[in-house]
Amino acid sequence: MVVAGRIKKGAYFDSVTLMNVARELSHMEGVADAAVVMGTNENRAILSAADLLTSEFESSSDTDLLIGVRAETDEIAEAALVAVDELLENVRGTVDDGEAFTPRSLDGALDVVPDANLALISVAGRYAGEVAARALDRGLHVMLFSDNVPLKTEVELKIRAHNQGLLVMGPDCGTAIINGVPLGFANAVNRGPIGIVAASGTGLQEVSTLVSNLGSGISQAIGTGGHDVKNAVGGVTFLDGLEALADDAETEVIVLVSKPPDAEVLDRIRKKVAGVKQPVVSIFLGTEPEGPNGCRTLAEAAFRAVAIVLGKEPEGVKGLLLGGDDREIGIVDRIVGERSSGQRYVRALMSGGTFASEAEIVFADLGLNDVHSNVPSGSAAKLDDPLRSVANTIVDLGSDEFTVGRPHPMIDYSLRVKRIADEANDPEVAVILLDVVLGYGSNLDPASELDEVVQDAVSKVAVVCSITGTDRDPQNRRAVCDALEAAGAIIADSNLSACRIAGLVARKLEVK
Amino acid sequence: MLVGDLFRQELKVVNIGLSSFKESLDEVGAQAVQVDWRPPMDVSDESRRIVGEHAKEIDAANAKVMDIILRGMPQRVGMARAIDVVPGMTSNMILHAGPPITWERMCGPMRGAVIGGLIYEGKATTPDEAEKLAASDEIEYAPCHEHSTVGPMAGIVMPSMPVFVLKNEEFGNSAYCTMNEGLGKVLRYGAFAPEVIEKLRWMDSVLYPVLDAAIADVGPIDLKNLMAQALHMGDEVHNRNRAATSLLYRAMAPAIVRSCSDDRQAVEVLEFINGNDHFFLNLSMPACKVTLDAARDVPGSSVVIAMTRNGTDFGIQLSGTGDEWFTGPVDVPDALFFPGYTKEDANPDIGDSSITETNGLGGFAIAASPAIVQFVGGTTSDAIQYTLEMYEIAAAENTVYQIPYLNFRGTPTGIDVVKVITKNILPFIDTGVAHREPGVGQVGAGVLSASAEPFTRAFEGLAARLAK
């Protein structure tokens, strides 16, 4: 070991900078210890204690910079003494990147943006209630994406919000569009005269994208979360949302989307609707249509709303999209003609729960028999094993038994890809029905996820697919359509149309 | 805000949770701010429920506490020997930093300082003799904090030691602190070699009478005003006291010259202050203490009134929980070390100096002190982040202490234990590091987050009182 020293005259650095430089020197290969200090008596004592005081330093003054190094060889020590200059240069040259402050709480965020008006909350359910309560305290509207929020908490939050004139969308609210801004899993839709209140996230996405693709647009789309229309909650957000749209000058037609509300809640909705001046289109999936503008499917609701805006009949609006019944019948006949004997069932592998329900309704309306589902809501039989299809089967891959410990199937396609391959190998299967949901938050490249498995499947079965989204979505609906069509899939304009094509194929093969 | 109003405004979103939602909002050009949210610290559900139910009562109590703290007027009014002025001080008592501790559990530096203190006091002549006495029943140990006193590092106050006397002009209470010994081998870091004792004796026989006379000459000095100026000059008055010491020097020098008849002694004293950048630390600490003590015992308040370490335990007291200490183990600071030392040599954090953070200074005001930002990661933006984060757990913003860089925003003042728990943010402390063996001294300086356990215990302790 050698000890070497150097004096740098007239160089002032604060002690912390010097300690950093000394630390860098100590980390150099072959350097055992290093000190870089101003030459005060006190510092010379420190050097002495560390055995780094060399004869060079005897004549030093307070304003000299002293560099002491203990190293394995003279060369290393010399290199370290020289390296100090560069290190000091770098310290002085360091530029502050000035990264913006990330607040740690809602209150901290409101220090930064005092006029924020909505809190989008997606923290774990057991904490979400407290965070939402704080947002209401601070006068913010809330979109609560989190699920697993206790029902009691949901009721407390919603009553408080109602009394304050605020909205609590959710818990378990996946989608909303406020002032044209998509929140959560939403699509880039046109702005326009149609307002939506929805207790179903995918239902909201389907209606809003169809409206947009039909050339109209959305004023506001308010999500409520699925529990809202249950008696326990009483439809607080649903009713407040409806009232807000009724009072909104930009909203010319209102669409209500929900799975069947509880009777008392439905009663309140009816009463509220009676006092609304705009036309109200409603789709309470699985119930008989309500009033003159009641619908049985999501697409029908979208068509009807746009028709009212345009002053046309819904049938006339359908032509705005491709499709129409004639195209569907042509496709059905072709698929049926291409099947070999024994192929007769439909397998619907859905990522949207509402789309699974809609498939069940459409299949029932077509008179299809022997329908099974892991989430039956009407006439379908419950699957014993959600992993094993029976006859005509509808599987909601977004239900709990599939999503524990893995992302939602709109994000992670792996489970569905495997299931498509399995179903295609079943000699009894004629057609596979899929939904692809685009928009913010969903998988950014669904076409590449499905490409290979669809190409392989269409050599054995037909693949019919709806694509919920717009051309302005990050995935670009047109591009996804083209890619999947190239892979051999038949693309429908709506989930309704896809269900009808697939259901009709199975129905025709059933009676054949 | 009514829903209809929302439709007519620009949507401005606070996104709490999944950052991908914020990215989507950015993509469509919507105004959004992301919150780096974390689950609250682990406390019993029962205590969370009670605290939640008493939120209004706690807020009202905290408002009262913060009014007292912000109105505090710390002034240095004189000097005296501890035994003559410190309340409850007895001739066999030794005051120490941090929460209560026995000789058996004391860390090396604190034991070293006790040994040095006993030799200084003339109660022992050798370290061995001092150690025996220290371990015996003849000595009574008590926290400085329980006697209106604070001490840096080991914080040892012997009965005969001279102390500064501070008064809170607004509320009339007093606080005390010894004089700072400077750097190198010093008692507060547990050193007890003959030169350490010799320096203490010089401080007793020369520094004390000269300063005492000068203070009588110059009159009370408004420390709040002086510290506010020092913040504008790059101090945070915990780890950097260079500006404050200079300001004090300017205020004192003429008085020292005027009142000291021995020129040689006057020069010695002036040189001693001039040569010790931390001289003012022993005034910033009691200034914070005298400010905070006035706000003790406001029922229901969750504001921390004392936060301190003894090198073994980290302890806090709340205004709303009386004299009860909430303690837990203390960590070793993340530090830059002097030549020849590493983290292996470092003692866990020690000293009452975190009273500065408790009063909105020190680590809480680090954004005012760019010269020492390298302790906190190297860039001024790191320092600013730390101060901004401390606003999250502060009960108020200071009306006098300001951060120039933040457009003279008041420093985050008053640690609210409810915010600490619910936001899961621990107070940030900048600190000196003592060698773990007695007698060695300071080995570095750095930063650390307060220990978690005292805060969870204090939260539950407050809940228990509120439930009664």
Domain segments of chain B: what residues? 3-35, 45-69+293-467, 74-286
- Chain B residue numbers with beta carbons less than 8 Å from the beta carbon of A248 are 4, 7
Residues A88, A216: one domain? no
Conformation bin of residue B90: beta by default, left when phi > 0, alpha when psi is -120 to 50:
beta
Residues A197, A339: one domain? no
Q: Which of A91, A92, A73, A95 is nearest to A28 (CA)?
A: A73
* Domain closes at, from A275, A300, A321: A321
Residues A502, A353: one domain? yes
- Asked if residues A454 and A489 have their Cβ atoms less than 8 Å apart, the reply is yes
Q: What is the pLDDT of residue A46?
A: 79
Give the span between the Cα atoms of A290 and A282, in whole angstroms.
7
One-letter amino acid of A74: D
The answer to whether the CB atoms of B11 and A115 lie below 8 A apart is no
- Those residues whose C-beta lies under 8 Å from the C-beta of residue B198, and which sit 6 or more positions away, are none
State the DSSP string of A376-430: --SSPEEPS-TTS--SEEEEETTSHHHHTTS--TTT--HHHHHHHHHHHT-TTEE
Helix A495-511 and helix A325-338, axial crossing angle in degrees, nearest 10:
40
Which pLDDT tens digit goes with each residue over B86-123? 999 999 999 999 999 999 999 999 999 999 999 999 99
End-to-end CA distance of chain B: 38
- Asked if residues A306 and A211 have their Cβ atoms less than 8 Å apart, the reply is yes
For A48-153, where are the E strands, in sequence order? 65-71, 118-121, 141-144
- Structure confidence at residue A405 as a pLDDT band (50, 70, 90): confident
The answer to whether the CB atoms of A20 and B336 lie below 8 A apart is yes
Q: Is the pLDDT of residue A145 over 80?
A: yes
- Those residues whose C-beta lies under 8 Å from the C-beta of residue B129, and which sit 6 or more positions away, are none
One-letter amino acid of A113: V
Q: In terms of CA atoms, which chain A residue is nearest residue B276?
A: A42
A413 in any annotated domain: yes
Which member of B28, B39, B381 has the closest CB to residue A181?
Answer: B28
Q: Is the pLDDT of residue A269 over 90?
A: yes
Q: In terms of CA atoms, which chain A residue is nearest residue B379?
A: A96
- Asked if residues B82 and B163 have their Cβ atoms less than 8 Å apart, the reply is yes
Q: What is the pLDDT of residue A82?
A: 87
Residues 120-149 of A with CB under 8 A from B: 120-124, 127, 130-131, 135, 139-141, 145-146
Give the span between the Cα atoms of B211 and B276, in whole angstroms.
15
Residues A470, A367: one domain? yes
- Asked if residues B244 and B226 have their Cβ atoms less than 8 Å apart, the reply is yes
Mean pLDDT for the stretch of residues A43-66 = 81
Q: In terms of CA atoms, which chain B residue is nearest residue A144?
A: B16
Three-state SS for A262?
coil
The answer to whether the CB atoms of B391 and A111 lie below 8 A apart is yes
Give the span between the Cα atoms of A469 and A466, in whole angstroms.
10
What phi, psi does B111 have (nearest 5°)?
Answer: -60, -45
- Asked if residues B190 and B152 have their Cβ atoms less than 8 Å apart, the reply is no
Give the span between the Cα atoms of B280 and B117, in whole angstroms.
22
Give the span between the Cα atoms of B430 and B354, in whole angstroms.
8
Q: Is the pLDDT of residue A97 over 50?
A: no
Q: Which of A86, A179, A32, A390 is nearest to B12 (CA)?
A: A179
The answer to whether the CB atoms of B21 and A166 lie below 8 A apart is no
Catalogue the long-range contacts made by A134-138 (C-beta closer than 8 Å, 24 or more residues apart): A134/A106, A134/A107, A135/A106, A135/B14, A136/A160, A136/A161, A136/A164, A136/A166, A136/A168, A138/A106, A138/A107, A138/A110
Q: Which of B452, B364, B439 is nearest to B403 (CA)?
A: B364
- Asked if residues A306 and A313 have their Cβ atoms less than 8 Å apart, the reply is no
Q: Is the pLDDT of residue A94 over 80?
A: no
The answer to whether the CB atoms of B9 and A188 lie below 8 A apart is no
A123 in any annotated domain: yes
Token pair belonging to B92? 């066999």
- Count of CB atoms within 10 A of residue B432's CB? 25
**A65-71 vs B93-96, strand pairing mode:** unpaired
Residues A329, A314: one domain? no
Please state whether the peptide bond connecting residue A171 to the residue before it is cis, i.e. omega within 30 degrees of 0: yes
Conformation bin of residue B407: beta by default, left when phi > 0, alpha when psi is -120 to 50:
left
- The radius of gyration computed from the CA coordinates of chain A, to the nearest angstrom, equals 33
Give the span between the Cα atoms of A50 and A10, in whole angstroms.
24
The answer to whether the CB atoms of B13 and A181 lie below 8 A apart is yes
Q: Is the pLDDT of residue A230 over 70?
A: yes
Which member of B17, B378, B419 has the closest CB to residue A122?
Answer: B17
- Those residues whose C-beta lies under 8 Å from the C-beta of residue B208, and which sit 6 or more positions away, are B79, B162, B179
The answer to whether the CB atoms of A119 and B184 lie below 8 A apart is no
Token pair belonging to B62? 């905290």
Average pLDDT, consecutive stretches of 10 residues, N- to C-terminus, chain B (468 residues): 85 93 92 92 94 95 98 96 98 98 96 96 96 97 98 97 98 98 89 94 97 96 96 95 97 96 96 96 98 98 98 98 97 86 92 98 94 74 90 95 92 97 94 86 86 97 96
pLDDT over 70 for what percent of chain A?
A: 94
Residues 299-328 of A with CB under 8 A from B: none
A487 in any annotated domain: yes
Residues 335-364 of A with CB under 8 A from B: none
Residues A245, A338: one domain? no
- Structure confidence at residue A47 as a pLDDT band (50, 70, 90): confident
Q: In terms of CA atoms, which chain A residue is nearest residue B12?
A: A116
- Asked if residues B325 and B99 have their Cβ atoms less than 8 Å apart, the reply is yes
A54 vs B: CB within 8 A: no
Helix (H) and strand (E) counts in chain A? 18, 20
| Strand partners of residue B418 | none
The answer to whether the CB atoms of B3 and A141 lie below 8 A apart is yes
- Asked if residues A54 and A103 have their Cβ atoms less than 8 Å apart, the reply is no
- Chain A residue numbers with beta carbons less than 8 Å from the beta carbon of B427 are none
Q: What is the pLDDT of residue A144?
A: 96
Q: Which of A495, A502, A209 is nearest to A358 (CA)?
A: A495
Conformation bin of residue A324: beta by default, left when phi > 0, alpha when psi is -120 to 50:
left
Which pLDDT tens digit goes with each residue over A146-155? 988 999 999 9
A20 vs B: CB within 8 A: yes
Q: In terms of CA atoms, which chain A residue is nearest residue B14?
A: A119
3-state helix, strand and coil shares in percent for chain A, rounded to the nearest 5: 45, 20, 35
Q: Tell me how many domains chain A contains.
A: 4
Using a 10 angstrom Cβ sphere, with 0-12 exposed, 13-18 middle and 19 or more buried, the burial of residue A474 is middle
A98 in any annotated domain: no
Q: In terms of CA atoms, which chain B residue is nearest residue A131?
A: B16
Q: Is the pLDDT of residue A322 over 60?
A: no
* Domain closes at, from A172, A195, A211: A172
The total number of residues shown for chain A amounts to 512
- Chain A residue numbers with beta carbons less than 8 Å from the beta carbon of B2 are 165
For B122-173, where are the E strands, in sequence order? 140-143, 162-168
Q: What is the pLDDT of residue A24?
A: 84
Residues A45, A115: one domain? no
Domain that includes residue A63, residue range: 2-93
Cα of A289 to nearest chain B Cα, Å: 29
A105 vs B: CB within 8 A: yes
Q: In terms of CA atoms, which chain B residue is nearest residue A146?
A: B17
Residue in this structure with the two tokens 């060079």, named with its chain if needed: A56
- Chain B residue numbers with beta carbons less than 8 Å from the beta carbon of A96 are 379-381
Cα of A249 to nearest chain B Cα, Å: 10
Q: What is the pLDDT of residue B377?
A: 64
Using alpha carbons only, give the angle A488, A328, A213 rounded to the nearest 5 degrees.
Answer: 80
A110 in any annotated domain: yes
Mean pLDDT for the stretch of residues A485-500 = 96
The answer to whether the CB atoms of A440 and B24 lie below 8 A apart is yes
Q: What is the pLDDT of residue A131?
A: 94
Token pair belonging to A116? 């924020």
Is-same-fold flag (B45-69+293-467; B74-286)?
no
Which pLDDT tens digit goes with each residue over B260-275? 999 999 999 999 999 9
Give the span between the Cα atoms of A167 and A154, in whole angstroms.
12
Lowest mean pLDDT among A171-180, A307-316, B51-60, B393-402: A307-316
The answer to whether the CB atoms of A117 and B38 lie below 8 A apart is no
Which member of A49, A182, A240 has the closest CB to residue B28?
Answer: A182
Q: What is the pLDDT of residue B440?
A: 80
Give the span between the Cα atoms of A478 and B201, in whole angstroms.
88
- Chain A residue numbers with beta carbons less than 8 Å from the beta carbon of B35 are 102-106, 108-109
What sign has the CA pseudo-torsion B112, B116, B121, B124?
positive
The CATH code of the domain at B45-69+293-467 is 3.90.1700.10
Residue A182: CATH number of its domain:
3.40.50.261
- Count of CB atoms within 10 A of residue B119's CB? 22
A161 vs B: CB within 8 A: no
CA atoms within 13 A on the CB side of A441: 25
Give the span between the Cα atoms of A155 and A172, in whole angstroms.
13
The answer to whether the CB atoms of A135 and B14 lie below 8 A apart is yes
Q: What is the pLDDT of residue B460?
A: 98
Mean pLDDT for the stretch of residues A63-68 = 84
Give the span between the Cα atoms of A106 and B204, in whole angstroms.
53
Residues A185, A76: one domain? no
Residues 370-399 of A with CB under 8 A from B: none
Give the span between the Cα atoms of A279 and A297, in whole angstroms.
18
Better pLDDT: A422 or A89: A422
The answer to whether the CB atoms of B14 and A240 lie below 8 A apart is no
| Strand partners of residue A2 | A71
Dihedral over alpha carbons B370, B376, B381, B386 (to 10 degrees): -100
Residues A77, A167: one domain? no
Q: What is the pLDDT of residue A93?
A: 46
* Domain closes at, from A93, A118, A153: A93
Using alpha carbons only, give the angle A277, A282, A287 rounded to the nearest 5 degrees.
Answer: 140
Residues A353, A495: one domain? yes
The class of domain B74-286 in CATH terms is alpha beta
The answer to whether the CB atoms of B21 and A139 lie below 8 A apart is no
| Strand partners of residue B75 | B167, B222
- Asked if residues A436 and A467 have their Cβ atoms less than 8 Å apart, the reply is yes
Mean pLDDT across chain A, nearest whole number? 91
- Chain A residue numbers with beta carbons less than 8 Å from the beta carbon of B40 are 127
The answer to whether the CB atoms of B7 and A94 lie below 8 A apart is no
Give the span between the Cα atoms of A281 and A302, in whole angstroms.
9
- Asked if residues A410 and A400 have their Cβ atoms less than 8 Å apart, the reply is no
Q: Which of A158, A161, A121, A171 is nearest to A139 (CA)?
A: A161
Give the span between the Cα atoms of B441 and B181, in whole angstroms.
12
